[in-house]
Amino acid sequence: MSYLVISFSHKNTDIQTREKLAFPSEENKDRFLKKILEDDIVNEAILLSTCNRVEIITSVTHTDAASKSIIKRLANYSGIDFEDLYDRADIYEHDGAIHHLFSVASALDSLVIGETQIVGQLKDAFRFSIAKKYCEQKLQRALHYSFKCAATVRNATSLGTGSVSVASTAVAKAKEIVGNTSGVKALVIGAGEMSELTIKHLLSSGFDVVLTSRDIKKAQILADTYEEHIIVEEYSKLNDLLNEIPVMITATSAPYPIIKQEMTKNCSFERYWFDIAVPRDIDDIDSPNLIVYTVDDLQDIVDSNMSLRAQQAKTAYSLVNKMSLEFFEWLKSLEVEPVIKHMYIKGEDIIDKKVQTAIKKGFINREDEENIRKLCQTVITEYLHQP
């Protein structure tokens, strides 16, 4: 049985392709995982779908056949031609699959190197497969070790500090454009995890935050978690808000664009909209004094981020290499573990018999039995340590 990871990310696909590959709901994920597990050569599967990547993490009996089978299912789901998907896909097998998984968990393969969300998203994907019984011992071992690797990288480097998420990068870009943010309103659409991060960074950058969501109760609960005052507006006012507020960041889980051309009026002031959702929340819009940024448009900040973090990333990659090797060494030790355990038990039986025989024959005194037994156990332990 081998590890296999099929990866589509910002490295090999544009945002239009990633929109088609995205799994916006748990129902979508569940149906897809069931489909790929119908094939006998796919034994376990985890599906990670974020704004920047789709990772299909599996254990399989035949990597080449499994790759083609999974990508065919993905082609049917996305409506993208199989050959196109197969050519684009980064396919990692066994050692390479583990190294890639550890790199993803440690945020070294992210659009924003060191971003802090990815390990949480990977844990959520892992829990989902565990709950559905799509994931058993082989992947459980790999995922737990990947989280250990991520923690090691985070503790050994400063990659997890500073502006390290797509949300924070969007806010950084908005602040760079606006300059003095005092009194400048920023509209946030959505009340999920990404919106929560966005609000946090907007507040720390000095923006006045206006929040709206289809779920107004959830939006109010989110707003109440901050000490700073956040204006919560009804979603029915979205059209007006879009044409009154200069900065907008949207991060909903809607499967289709929620902001369209007809909602946009001509304004005399400059507007800057940031769409950090995949699939995109903003349709193709042409309007005077309006600039729309998608996830892929934040590349300039990402490039700057990478150059600043290059040395730290080098250290992090060496840790990933080291822990990938350690993982396979650990797996080998698990293979021999039952044998070693049996040898310990056999050793205890021999110690017991020999000590009792020695006491009966008068070779040792009964009051010395405990100390002699401890000495014998120490010898066995040291002898079996290397195997």
Confidence of residue 232 (pLDDT cuts 50, 70, 90): very high
| Average pLDDT of span 200-206 | 93
Query: Which pLDDT score, from 0 to 100, does residue 193 have?
Result: 83
Q: 260: which 2 tokens? A: 């369209």
- Residues 313/113, Cβ–Cβ less than 8 Å: yes
How far is residue 111 CA from its own chain's centroid?
A: 12
Residues 6+ apart with CB under 8 A from 6: 55, 56, 58, 67, 70, 71, 74, 89, 90, 91, 92
Q: 263-318 pLDDT, tens per residue?
A: 999 998 999 999 998 888 999 998 989 999 988 887 666 666 656 566 677 888 89
Query: Which pLDDT score, from 0 to 100, does residue 250 have?
Result: 95
Query: Which pLDDT score, from 0 to 100, does residue 1 have?
Result: 84
Confidence of residue 162 (pLDDT cuts 50, 70, 90): low
Burial category of 345 from C-beta neighbours within 10 Å (exposed 0-12, middle 13-18, buried 19 and up): exposed
Write down the pTM of the prediction: 0.69
Query: Which pLDDT score, from 0 to 100, does residue 141 have?
Result: 94
In the chain, the domains with their CATH numbers are 2-161+308-332 (3.30.460.30), 166-288 (3.40.50.720)
Q: What percent of the chain has pLDDT over 90?
A: 64
Burial category of 384 from C-beta neighbours within 10 Å (exposed 0-12, middle 13-18, buried 19 and up): middle
Rg (CA), the chain: 27
Catalytically active residues are: 51
Instruction: Give the span between the Cα atoms of 156 and 6, in whole angstroms.
Output: 28
Q: Check whether 386 has a pLDDT greater than 90.
A: no
Query: Which pLDDT score, from 0 to 100, does residue 82 have?
Result: 96
Among 159, 139, 169, smallest CA distance to 296 is for 169
Query: Which pLDDT score, from 0 to 100, does residue 231 have?
Result: 95
Q: Check whether 2 has a pLDDT greater than 90.
A: yes
| Average pLDDT of span 241-262 | 93
Confidence of residue 79 (pLDDT cuts 50, 70, 90): very high
Instruction: Give the span between the Cα atoms of 4 and 100, in whole angstroms.
Output: 10
- Residues 24/279, Cβ–Cβ less than 8 Å: yes
Q: Count other C-beta atoms under 10 Å from residue 347's C-beta.
A: 17
Among 323, 305, 8, 127, smallest CA distance to 119 is for 127
**For residue 290, what are the β-bridge partners?**
271
Q: Check whether 220 has a pLDDT greater than 60.
A: yes
Instruction: Give the span between the Cα atoms of 147 and 165, in whole angstroms.
Output: 18
